[in-house]
Structure 1
Amino acid sequence: MFLSVLTSVSEQFTFRCRNFLLYLFVFCNFSKLLIIDVKGYENGMKKTDIVNDYLEKGRVLLTTGQLADALTNFHSAIDADPQSYLAYFRRATVYLAMGKSKSAVSDLSKVIELKPDFTGSRVQRGNVFLKQGDFNEAKIDFQTVLQSDSSNSEAHNLLDLTIRMSQKMQQAENSFRNKDHTNAAEIFSEIIEVSFVNQKPKSIYIYGRDMGNIQNFLDV
């Protein structure tokens, strides 16, 4: 009798120990997952804070005209988070202020890749293309913006300007081919007020202006 009671108690104790060990195992693993999740959240918050700090410092430096220092901060923001579209956009703004349009276009293209619905970046890139004399690329950007936001007045105005400049470019080139250098120079002088980066209209304008002056001299 005593032996059977002892056996029963032993079995119950063993069962409870097993349950306790099982509970302990589950608790330990759950705790590990919880700790990992909390650490991941904390690291994510720290990363966001770091990026925001660089962005804010860069913004302040940009507004005070300290372009090189602003650029350094935006570089650091991108290094901390390569998926931050805002960091690329602000760095593009600095590049434009520095006259580095090629680098600006690269960053604006990255912004469009990361956040396609951010129309400001596409308008800005289209404006750079317009100033470079890349009228077809500019039209594509402005038209794309208007497809999603038909009330965007800036895109409308820039698209109209791009179309006018493209037409003037065609007129100027036709005049130049017809040896009407004076007229070509006059038209190109209007174009380079908008598309001042592109060296093609500028060089043809200078040549046309000089040829027109020579022709006027010969006609006297």
Structure 2
Amino acid sequence: MRRSFIAYCLLLILSALSYSFAQEMSSEAARLYNEGNKLAKAGEYTNAIVKYDSALNIEKDFRIYYQKGAAYRKAGNLDSAKTAIEESIKLKPDFEGSYNALGSVYFSMKNYQEAAVNFEKVLQMSTDTTLKSSIKENLAVAYTMLGNEAINNKNNTKAVEHLQKAVENKNYDKAYLLLAKVYSELGDFDKTLAASDSALKFKSTISEGGPYYYMGLAYKGKADLKKAKEMFNKAKGDAAYKKAAEYELSILK
């Protein structure tokens, strides 16, 4: 998911480039800007940034700051990327690509709350259905990460809130699996079963062991020991859940 997440952001870099043909830029600034773009495309990010800075000395243009931010991000300098993209937003606050890029930077910084805030802005601003679909995927991942953080902080109520937002944006298997975990801990076994079912239905990044394991816990909680054993036996075929499932089976004997 992380790789595809980054890919969506790269698509927006191409959309930003299209502005260079849609709006006027002074000829010398445009020349330096386009040279920077060629260098960035070739992976020469440091040299690209030099070109962008030279262009900015001539003209403060949101596109130049945007591409400079993208180059910094590619070079792994997230703080400088954030600063450049924020300058792009100051100059053109209605350009949705900058908010997506900023969300991507925050995600890389592991600041998932700010990532979600910026992705939500793109969703509100954009009329492009393809872009909105991609942003919903980004939001699903960001809210899932927030849900996981809440679980680690033992705040299950907040975890459910974040994970529900995740699956509202996309039927994301990891979010459903975490919901199954949280609901099982809260003792809401019907919701545990529903979330586990959805995790299996939309499975693309997880193995089957997790959903079956939480189904086993749910059936155990509902005193349906036959179904619980059935689910734990399925779960133990997954190396990640084998030990936990076998332990539960030993208790049910």
TM-score surpassing 0.5?
Answer: yes
Q: How many residues align?
A: 130
Displacement after TM superposition at 1:66 (Å): 1.8
Verify: 1:170 aligned to 2:150, yes or no: yes
Letter in 2 for 1:140: V
Displacement after TM superposition at 1:91 (Å): 0.6
Listed as ranges, the gaps of 5+ residues in structure 1 are 1-44, 176-186, 188-220
CA RMSD of aligned residues (A): 2.0
- Structure 1 counterpart of 2:140, from 145, 160, 164: 160
Aligned position for 1:130: 107
Displacement after TM superposition at 1:77 (Å): 0.6
Letter in 1 for 2:44: Q
- Structure 1 counterpart of 2:49, from 71, 76, 86: 71
Query: Which secondary structure does the structure 2 equivalent of 1:133 belong to?
Result: coil
- Structure 1 counterpart of 2:64, from 87, 112, 116: 87
For 1:70 and 1:131, the matched residues in 2 are separated by 21
Verify: 1:117 aligned to 2:97, yes or no: no
Aligned position for 1:50: 28
Verify: 1:96 aligned to 2:76, yes or no: no
Displacement after TM superposition at 1:174 (Å): 2.3
Listed as ranges, the gaps of 5+ residues in structure 2 are 1-23, 156-177, 179-253
For 2:41 and 2:112, the matched residues in 1 are separated by 30
Displacement after TM superposition at 1:167 (Å): 0.4
Letter in 2 for 1:167: G
Task: Compare the two structures and name the one with the higher helix fraction.
Answer: 1
The runs of at least 4 consecutive aligned structure 1 residues that moved more than 3 Å come to: none
> CA deviation digits over 1:101-153, x for unaligned, max 9?
01101111111111112111101111111221212211111111111226312
Partners of 2:100 and 2:118 within 8 A in 1: yes
Identity %, equivalent residues: 23
Matches of residues 7-46 of structure 1 in structure 2 within 5 Å? none
Aligned position for 2:228: none
Displacement after TM superposition at 1:161 (Å): 0.8
